[in-house]
Amino acid sequence: MGSPLINLHNISYQYEQTKALIDINLTIAEGDFLAIIGPNGSGKSTLLKIILGLLKPTSGEVLLFGKPVNQFKEKERIGYVSQKSNSFNTGFPATVTEVVRSGLVKKTGLFHRYPANVNKQVRQALKSVGMDEYSMKNIGDLSGGQQQRVFIARALISNPNVLILDEPTVGVDSKNVKSFYNMLSHLNREHNITIVLVTHDVDAVSKSISHVACLNQRIHFHGFKNEMDQMSDEQLEAWYGHAVRKVDHQSEVKS
Amino acid sequence: MIDSIFHYEFLQNAFASGLIIGFIAPLLGVFIVVRRLSLIADALSHVTLAGIAGSLYLSQSVGALALLNPLYLGIVASVTGSLFIERLRRLYKHYEELAIPIIMSAGLGFGAIFISLAEGFSSDLFSYLFGSVSAVSRQDLWIIIGIALIVIVFLSLFFKELFVLSFDEEYAKASGLPAKWIHVLFMIVTALVIAGSMRIVGILLVSSLMTLPVAAAMRISKSFKQAILLSVIFGELSVIVGLVSAFYLDLAPGGTIVVTSIIILLLTIFSKKIGSKGAVSG
């Protein structure tokens, strides 16, 4: 196990009267490929926002690379891919290159121009997600899955150690979900990027994932993916709140 | 016409201001449109009206203020309005658009009171509402040059941050950009441009110079850079054609500028249709 990159200690979060997260303890280590799974309303996105420092927990502490989140200045070490559907408008007049380049905004710093070799960096980032042929396309003309890859390239361009993805397969064609996970797996193994993603879809948890955390206000299970596979359907159901089924992505691809 | 420009200072003022406005209004307008703030520009122009009308009233009733340029109070009103809009948008988190009618009616309400106090419509007020070729003073021109410098400095300092903020606000915040401050500065600069543009296009039509050229450019541009370039070209074209025709036909330039930009918009919509048909058949 690699050294811990993200530590959550006793995190709780409350929206007015509702408890969204209760006493979360979670350590994400270098090289992990973690899926946080939970039904809608289980607090997944809240948890991500707390990790990213966008929300302040009601209690508890977040450490990023060993530093408290509010003192952590190297935000470019954490690449964030937000839930595509609610954060960008498809009519936006921008090319793929312009979008990917904008991932360097924080690293470049206020009042500075992008570095001279920015186009080379854009090409590399696009290549690592298999989108190098689309650099001059309008972002709105791409499919959901292709857009998602572009957003990953935008996160990758600043060479992050961790990639955090919020429901990355929403809006991705079911036929392309598998190749999407293969790409993430490639980034995880070959580029040594720690990956954390949240999803409401238990089915989406593919073989490429190393760790799973099951969330529903509390963390009900956190461990290796193969341990979760041993969980009985009853255990899964108790946590998820309704019947779920496990699908083995290794043996079949859903059509 | 060219001759007249050399002869008459008022024409020099109008054309120089027009060319500057035709550049900065669509330039900033690109960000306003992609951030879906077009209606806010409209609301701010109505607030500017309150400032202008208030200033016209004060200059009638308070001797010492007789020579005060109404643009100054217009700028004050517009900038104050932009800050209020931000406050209201945060107050009504789930009904952000509510800030627009509130500020717009406040602006018109105060405007109406000052106009009636100042004993009705004067020709001066008419020129503020719909623009004027003859009423732009040298002092107005200097104010507009000042505003243009602020816009250019602001955009060159924050261009990449504004792009990120416009494209994906959540991502901007997650990357640790000071999104809130950049946005507040953006609103203040917008307010300045609105106050500055209204001498030429008029209060009621000022937001159109920030949105129509952009709407046309977005139809046909392939990149953000191209959208900006085309917006500025369309903006300048509208201002030049609008001012020349206003001068010769003795019309309010606000009207001729806006109608020109509408024609450009229709042409881009039309040309795109033909273009896509051509692509299908070819």
Domains and CATH numbers, chain A: 4-240 (3.40.50.300)
pLDDT value of residue A246: 53
Instruction: Tell me the per-residue pLDDT of A54-93, one tens digit each, with 9 for 90 and over.
Output: 889 999 999 999 999 888 888 889 998 887 655 677 778 9
Count of alpha carbons within 13 angstroms of residue B40, beta-carbon side: 27
Distance CA A123, CA A130 (A): 10
Which element (helix H / strand E) includes A67? strand A67-68
Residues of B with CB under 8 A from a CB of A: 34, 36, 157-158, 160-161, 163-164, 166-178, 217-218, 221-227
The size of the A-B interface in CB pairs under 8 A is 80
Chain A closest-CA separation from residue B172 CA (Å)? 9
Q: Which residues of B touch A166 (CB under 8 A)?
A: none
Q: Which residues of B touch A154 (CB under 8 A)?
A: 171
Contact with chain B for residue A74, Cβ under 8 A: no
CB nearest to B171's CB, from A53, A87, A136: A87
Structure tokens at B216: 């046309």
Please say whether the beta carbons of B221 and B96 come within 8 A. Answer: no
pLDDT value of residue A85: 53
Q: With H, G, I as helix, E, B as strand and everything else as coil, classify residue A92.
A: coil
Q: What amino acid is encoded at B203 in this protein?
A: I
Given a cut of 50, whether residue A249 has pLDDT beyond it is no
Distance CA B179, CA B162 (A): 9
Which residue's structure tokens are 């106090």? B117
Please say whether the beta carbons of B214 and B26 come within 8 A. Answer: yes
Instruction: Tell me the per-residue pLDDT of B34-86, one tens digit each, with 9 for 90 and over.
Output: 988 889 888 999 999 999 989 988 888 887 777 788 889 999 999 999 999 98
Structure tokens at B144: 């507009």
pLDDT value of residue A1: 58
Distance CA A129, CA A81 (A): 13
Sheet containing strand A59-64, strands side by side: A18-29, A4-15, A59-64, A67-68
Confidence of residue A205 (pLDDT cuts 50, 70, 90): low
Q: B267-281 burial string, b = 16+ CB within 10 Å, else e? A: ebeeeeeeeeeeeee
Structure tokens at B30: 């690109």
Q: Which residues of A touch B171 (CB under 8 A)?
A: 80, 82, 87, 154
Distance CA B123, CA A170 (A): 59
Between A248 and A20, where is the model more confident? Answer: A20
Given a cut of 60, whether residue A126 has pLDDT beyond it is yes
Q: What amino acid is encoded at B38 in this protein?
A: S
| Cα separation values, B215 from A127, B31, B158, B267, Å | 33, 12, 23, 12
In order of start, what are the domains of chain B with their CATH numbers?
Answer: 2-203 (1.10.3470.10)
User: Distance of alpha carbon A156 from its chain centroid, rounded?
Assistant: 12
Chain A closest-CA separation from residue B168 CA (Å)? 5
Nearest CA among B131, B51, B176, B199 for reference residue A107:
B176
Q: Which residues of A touch B166 (CB under 8 A)?
A: 92
